[in-house]
Structure 1
Amino acid sequence: MPLIANADVIRVTRVDGCGRPICGEDNGYVFDCFATLAMNSNVEDGEDLEYKAANGRVCGFKRGCPSFRGFDVELSFFDVSPQLIEITTGNPVVFGYNGEPIGYDDCSIQCNSGFAVELWAEVLGDDVCATDGAGEGSWIYFLMPWVTNGMLGNLEVGSEAANLTLTGATRAGGAWGVGPWDVMPLDAAGTPGPLLTPMGSNCHRRTFVTNVAPPVPGADYIPVTGDLCLAS
């Protein structure tokens, strides 16, 4: 794998209670005003088995097998976007007189809501551009297709810059399939398309190199459309 330079863009997509992308005009959001996206492994240590004789001699030993529960996700960001917070936490947007989003409400944790997270990180190296002329660079692409229990952390406003922190936890399975977005080349010509294969039922994250450029950040929702929506 090439070297990662720095994180570039994040996209979040609303998913339903089964991990399916929800099609519609207000179900995606792209942004770049963030500091870090942490993906911390949540692992339960296995239980070791030891057989010890009465005289103290160990007759047998088996190391326990750890269980991978998923990733604990922590996003630190600067942009107080009602759209981002609404998709990730399920809490409602506050609208102004002209119908534009101006804020959000902090309510109960919406454990039945979910979202997918995609991250593009720039790649270092002399060979980041395809030799056949396709694409405009290379990125490491991370996909966590099913994150639940989105919750905003503590907020301290004072004389220094304020960060918002969003936490959540990945789930395996779900029904993201190949996804609603074009994220990788489908052929040698670099034609952008969705994932070539769905993730496995026990998988939480997919990572690969792509020369399909990330989406452009914006100030409003983006629509979730495409072949996945036409088939649903």
Structure 2
Amino acid sequence: MFDCLASVAMNPNTDDGDDVSYKAANGRQCGFRRGCPTFNGYDVEVNFFSVSPEFLEITTGNPVVYDYAGKAIGYDDCSLQCNSGFALELWAEVLGEDVCATGGSGGAWIYFLLPWVTNGILGDLEVGSEAVTLQLTGATRAGGGWGTGPYDVIAKDAAGTPSPLLTPLGQTCHRRTMITTVAPPAPVCDYVPVTGGLCLAS
């Protein structure tokens, strides 16, 4: 969990499908069927200013480098790990009238969940006199066994009691977007155990 994101792009990846035209022998069009687009997922691009080695290990599969005391101080760039993946949760603060509409006095956030992002890889890196910005790219996949998730991200009652998702994310879904009055957790750089296990589909 970190809060040094510069931007996150989620670009739909689709296949338009093939249009079918039915023509008579004289060339007149007798029928037409529009191709059905196929949604392949989102191409994800994350730009950030600084990040922990642990985050890079989780998102790219590249191993962490430790110092003599066991503190993470860096990472190795190795082969692309296409057989692993990670989930990405984002909170963006809602400003204006929408806060009142939610009924919450502590604020409101737009919450994004991408339960399965694969092929994480760091982009071009240029070290110079300017600040270094890192870029991570990946692609979403459907499913992932997220279910209702292991974390409290939404209120489950009128008192605002934090809870995991109230309904599980479907096995054909790539993203969930919703408004929540549950504040995002405090940023941490160390590994945090996932409560309740990793495969929580229900």
Could you state the TM-score of these two structures normalised by the residue count of structure 1?
0.81
Check 1:231–1:116 CA distance in 2 against 1; reply closer, same or farther (3 A cut). closer
Match of 1:82 in 2: 53
1:194 paired residue among 144, 160, 164: 164
What secondary structure sits across from 1:86 in the alignment? Answer: helix
Root mean square deviation, CA, Å: 1.8
The total of aligned residue pairs comes to 200
Separation in structure 2 between the aligned mates of residue 66 and residue 194 of structure 1, nearest angstrom: 33
The CA distance in 2 between the partners of 1:231 and 1:208, in whole Å, is 22
What is the letter of the counterpart of residue 83 of structure 2?
A: N
Q: Does residue 221 of the first structure (1) align with residue 199 of the second (2)?
A: no
How far 1:112 sits from its partner (Å)?
A: 1.2
Instruction: Give the C-alpha shift of residue 146 in structure 1.
Output: 0.7
Matched, 1:181 2:151: yes
Q: Which residue of 1 aligns with 2:130?
A: 160
Q: Distance in 1 between matches of 2:154 and 2:50?
A: 28
Three-state SS of the structure 2 residue aligned to 1:128 is: helix
**Partners of 1:129 and 1:136 within 8 A in 2:** no
What is the match of residue 97 of structure 1? 68
Greater RCO, CA 8 A, separation 6+: 1
Residue 125 of structure 1 deviates from its aligned partner by 1.4
**Runs of at least 5 residues in structure 2 that lack an aligned partner in the other structure:** none
**Is structure 2 residue 68 aligned with structure 1 residue 68?**
no
Uncovered stretches (5+) of structure 1, i.e. residues with no partner: 1-29
Q: Which one has the bigger strand percentage? A: 1
Percent identity of paired positions between Structure 1 and Structure 2: 69
Whether the 8 Å contact between 1:42 and 1:71 is mirrored in structure 2 is: yes
